[in-house]
Amino acid sequence: MSATPPPSTIGLHHVALKTKEWDRSLSFYGEQLGFVTTITWTMPTGKRAAMLDMGGGHYLEVFEDPAYTPAPDGALIHLALRTADVDAATARVRDAGMRITVEPKDVTIETTNGRGPVPVRLSFFIGPNGETWEFFQNDRT
């Protein structure tokens, strides 16, 4: 199995989310998570959209949809953000009023491909649009 992506695939560029609460979403992602709004635009429907820089060439794209209601259990399991300090990142989102679903904890991933155990620290929270986020800290992946 090749560790290099095929020539047509360079890597993840962005994840796109719908939001019912435009101002709250942009404020949360900017102020609590430090994402930088790179571009914003208005769709032909009059709804707003933005591309937020998460760092490392990765973006969160946000689309306004005032009629949006999150699915109770959609196909997206969660979005994971690499962080150097799970505890501090979790405290920031808790202070912003987000619901923490898994408190910061240490987990060892017991690999099945001969790479040995991978220690990680993680936590999970629900974002302003009902999406599940994970803070993920380790030095192996």
Place of tokens 């150097």: 84
pTM value is 0.77
Contacts made by residues 130-133, CB under 8 angstroms, sequence distance 24+: 130/70, 131/17, 131/70, 131/76, 131/78, 131/79, 132/76, 132/77, 132/78, 132/79, 132/101, 133/78, 133/79, 133/80, 133/81, 133/93
Contacts made by residues 106-115, CB under 8 angstroms, sequence distance 24+: 115/140
Query: What percent of the chain is modeled with pLDDT above 70?
Result: 91
- The string of pLDDT tens digits covering residues 70-104 is 777 766 788 999 899 999 999 999 999 999 999 99
